[in-house]
A = this chain, B = another copy of it.
């Protein structure tokens, strides 16, 4: 007789009463009770209670050997649970399966940690036994959500006539921005492929080919030093469209997000999403990805203090810096100790040199540098900061743009510390009008703020050589609750402007030809105006699921040393393999 399951463990209801069924699954819990053995049999779909009675003693004694995580099959009849064991919260809660036959597929050792949700086990152990960690309902839920989100995304683009195209994983190394992962070629001695940091050039070439609308959910790779929210390989929803402007990209992707949120979180998003220029975001929130779930804003009190008696304020303003404040509502009575701890946190996390505070209590204003300031100045500072009786004002002074970024960091610290963030809100935002380039003090040249293929705004073209810093890009980021979840731009599509852009970035003609000659060539044969976007899928699913880490929405992630503790990769390889690839290890290598 077949041992193929007739039902999953999440499927039976009391409607099936009397039916003979076959179930397969894992032993989740076992209770022995007055000669009866009850087992919660678990699979991905749910849990069904099975019961062994004493009438068949051979079977009963087999059941006595069953331990947690054994994999078994059972044949049996669906019966009512006894009244006191009915669980109305479970789909299968009214029934149990009275087992007549048992098959043990696999025994199981005691796992190194229990398969349960509120796990305290350290992450390295969880990663080593990833296949057990993935049995936990929480991770299963995350990965199934991820699978469903893929489906919604792909249907969305398919319905809109986008063509899904796979671009190469083995491509040309053109390091610009992050480091490439390299792949030595065996057939072509001494040469290397790179893994894509993004399929940027390919998707633009597809537009030159006339594909018109392209999308792909694609792995990308950056060999960067890892932070908590980075992985060496990550997944991007990659999109490019021809003959469009920014508005089309915004509208389409607001609709995509609305679909995803509706289908999987039951949330109706309000569209269109608000927009904010990069300059406004930096000035008001000290960030190019402001978290709008709380409305604390940055105030510029430079004018109030430029002529004050406090040297640091004066000299900051004199040197072109700014004095900025933020008001924490209702925290005007914070004690000295708490303020010192807050100051330490702010200076260490944001890099600010120091923090000044001001309290509005019982009609009086006190300030940590009050002895240098007159009452009128302090009153003006408080007023500009929008501070009211009972509030705390925090002040940073320094050169721009650093002081804005420090203030942005401070804003998030107080948002979290004083629970100002409404975590039930979903705040999407387009950040627009980014600068085209920024000056790199290390490299002594301009870097593209997005990438070298981003089009400058047409009205700024005449400043490209005379005043590059003031040129705005046709670039945009999609921000969700303070996280950048996507970014894109309208691209350059003529060889002349692309060459001009390379020059501006200090890439001379020879280098441009060697690295990007194929793109410049492609533009010579009739390129349509085009633009696109790339969305960070891992991060989107992380934010949707409320997971604490990208690692909780990736099936087999790397740890923060870019290693997989499960299979001990990366690992040493044989001399023979290296020889075939025409490479050797450096003697200086620390191995």
Could you list which residues of chain A lie within 8 angstroms of chain B, going by C-beta atoms?
Answer: 4-5, 8, 24, 26-27, 42-45, 69-71, 73, 105-109, 111, 129-132, 134-135, 140, 143-144, 146-147, 150-151, 154, 158, 163-173, 175, 179-195, 201-202, 205-206, 208-212, 219, 221, 223, 225-226, 232-233, 235, 242-245, 248, 493-494, 518, 521-529, 554-556, 558, 561-564, 566-574, 577, 579-586, 588-591
B526 touches A26 (CB 8 A): yes
Residues from chain B with a CB closer than 8 A to the CB of A564 are 168, 171-172
How far, in angstroms, from A411 to B191 measured CA to CA in the complex?
A: 42
B190 touches A590 (CB 8 A): yes
Q: A135-B210, A170-B570, A172-B568 are in contact. List 15 more A-B contacts (CB 8 A).
A: A4-B243, A4-B248, A71-B528, A131-B209, A140-B209, A143-B163, A147-B163, A170-B232, A183-B570, A187-B562, A188-B563, A190-B585, A579-B586, A582-B588, A584-B586
Give min CB distance, A371 to chain B, whole Å.
Answer: 51
The A interface, classified by DSSP as helix, strand, loop or mixed, is loop
Question: Known contacts A556-B167, A573-B182, A577-B182; is A73 also within 8 Å of B189 by CB?
Answer: no
Residues from chain B with a CB closer than 8 A to the CB of A208 are 131
B192 touches A573 (CB 8 A): yes
Question: Known contacts A173-B571, A187-B562, A583-B583; is A69 also within 8 Å of B106 by CB?
Answer: no
Question: Known contacts A71-B526, A210-B135, A568-B172; is A181 also within 8 Å of B183 by CB?
Answer: yes
A233 touches B582 (CB 8 A): no
Residues from chain B with a CB closer than 8 A to the CB of A163 are 44, 143-144, 147
How far, in angstroms, from A318 to B436 measured CA to CA in the complex?
A: 81
A210 touches B26 (CB 8 A): yes
How far, in angstroms, from A586 to B572 measured CA to CA in the complex?
A: 18
How far, in angstroms, from A205 to B528 measured CA to CA in the complex?
A: 46
Q: Which residue of B lies closest to A527 (CB)?
A: B106
How far, in angstroms, from A4 to B44 measured CA to CA in the complex?
A: 48
How far, in angstroms, from A330 to B254 measured CA to CA in the complex?
A: 68
13 residue pairs bridging A and B, Cβ less than 8 Å apart = A4-B244, A8-B212, A106-B493, A134-B209, A135-B210, A140-B210, A154-B154, A170-B570, A182-B581, A187-B225, A193-B570, A202-B555, A584-B586
Give min CB distance, A340 to chain B, whole Å.
Answer: 37
How far, in angstroms, from A244 to B195 measured CA to CA in the complex?
A: 37
B24 touches A209 (CB 8 A): no
- In the A-B complex, the 3 residue pairs with the smallest Cβ-Cβ separation, listed nearest first, are A190-B591, A108-B526, A134-B209
A562 touches B185 (CB 8 A): yes
Residues from chain B with a CB closer than 8 A to the CB of A571 are 172-173, 191-192
How far, in angstroms, from A448 to B374 measured CA to CA in the complex?
A: 86
Which of B111, B150, B170, B566 has a CB less than 8 Å from the CB of A525? B111
Which of B43, B167, B522, B590 has a CB less than 8 Å from the CB of A210? B43
For the complex formed by this chain, how many copies does it contain in all?
A: 2
Q: Which residue of B lies closest to A112 (CB)?
A: B525
A131 touches B205 (CB 8 A): yes
Which of B186, B194, B221 has a CB less than 8 Å from the CB of A223? B186
How far, in angstroms, from A150 to B180 measured CA to CA in the complex?
A: 29
Residues from chain B with a CB closer than 8 A to the CB of A169 are 169, 195, 219, 221, 233
A209 touches B132 (CB 8 A): yes
How far, in angstroms, from A27 to B175 measured CA to CA in the complex?
A: 36
B191 touches A165 (CB 8 A): no
Residues from chain B with a CB closer than 8 A to the CB of A572 are 190-192
How far, in angstroms, from A167 to B556 measured CA to CA in the complex?
A: 7
Give min CB distance, A187 to chain B, whole Å.
Answer: 5
How far, in angstroms, from A49 to B223 measured CA to CA in the complex?
A: 50
Residues from chain B with a CB closer than 8 A to the CB of A8 are 212
How far, in angstroms, from A143 to B165 measured CA to CA in the complex?
A: 7
How far, in angstroms, from A134 to B580 measured CA to CA in the complex?
A: 34
Give min CB distance, A355 to chain B, whole Å.
Answer: 35
B526 touches A173 (CB 8 A): no
B583 touches A584 (CB 8 A): yes
Residues from chain B with a CB closer than 8 A to the CB of A567 are 171-172, 201, 518
How far, in angstroms, from A150 to B215 measured CA to CA in the complex?
A: 12
B69 touches A528 (CB 8 A): no
Give min CB distance, A137 to chain B, whole Å.
Answer: 10
How far, in angstroms, from A309 to B260 measured CA to CA in the complex?
A: 79
Give min CB distance, A216 to chain B, whole Å.
Answer: 10
How far, in angstroms, from A581 to B225 measured CA to CA in the complex?
A: 13
Give min CB distance, A79 to chain B, whole Å.
Answer: 23
B106 touches A191 (CB 8 A): no
Residues from chain B with a CB closer than 8 A to the CB of A583 are 184, 583-586, 589
Which of B105, B151, B171, B566 has a CB less than 8 Å from the CB of A164? B151
Residues from chain B with a CB closer than 8 A to the CB of A73 are 243
Q: Which residue of B lies closest to A132 (CB)?
A: B525
Q: Which residue of B lies closest to A225 (CB)?
A: B187
How far, in angstroms, from A493 to B164 measured CA to CA in the complex?
A: 36
